Amino acid sequence: MKFKYYLRKSSFKKDKSSAHLLLDQIDYHKPKYFLEVGVFQGVTSRNVCEKLCEIHKNDFRYYGVDIFEDSTEEIDLKESTVKHNKISNPLKHFLFNIILKQNLNSMESVNKLLSKFKNNIQLIKGLSHDALKKVNLSEIEFIFLDGGHAYETVKEDLRIILKDIKKNMVIICDDYDQDGYGVKKAVDELKGQVTDIININKRLVKIIT
């Protein structure tokens, strides 16, 4: 299965090989209960749902957590991974802003992109430290952690997740190699507390709980 962009932006835009590595990991672990923290415009969400459907037909659940805001006002500046929100391509601007009047970062727009899987998905709007409490983490088998990237946020997200997730489940964190972010520090501090930490490539790191 090829990773598709659905005319939207994704953090995997310039790095299709990492996107495919994520899909390969889903193929390998075959989770039925999937959580993505940091949905953005839903591109990875849609690809993940297509993959889960390919593996399990209709028998899977996808949960997506995001603030779903078109502004960085609510979050700390260090968190501003939403900074690429503006549509720079004039054709896309015309289609989404003028014709469809769709804010691509809104929960409504992501729900539309995922409507094919409407019986399998649940999007939860809010900052992760609140929204994660609304997910039954004890049933989640695979997490793609790609929300706030500040050390404090990643550390807190991992703390909440690890408190309730079962043993030998998978958490893949994005942007492990980004110096300005706090992903590496927060993940490295888990050494000795989790079963394993494996580098999938420079960017993606896999935690086995």
Ligand X SMILES: C[S@@+](CC[C@H](N)C(=O)[O-])C[C@H]1O[C@@H](n2cnc3c(N)ncnc32)[C@H](O)[C@@H]1O
Residues in contact with ligand X by the rule CB under 6 A = 10-12, 36, 38-40, 43-44, 65-67, 75, 79, 81-82, 127-128, 146-148, 153
Nearest CB to ligand X, comparing residues 11 and 98: 11
Question: Is the CB of 136 or the CB of 195 nearer to ligand X?
Answer: 136
Q: Least Å distance between CB 3 and ligand X?
A: 10
Q: How far is the CB of 20 from ligand X (least distance, A)?
A: 13
Cα dihedral sign, 154-18-9-63: negative
Instruction: Give whichever of 58 and 88 is closer to ligand X, judged by the CB atom.
Output: 88
Q: Which is nearer to ligand X, 29 or 155 (CB)?
A: 155
Q: Least Å distance between CB 65 and ligand X? A: 6
Q: Closest CB to ligand X among 38 and 209? A: 38
Q: What's the min distance (Å) between Cβ of 38 and ligand X?
A: 3
Q: How far is the CB of 132 from ligand X (least distance, A)?
A: 9
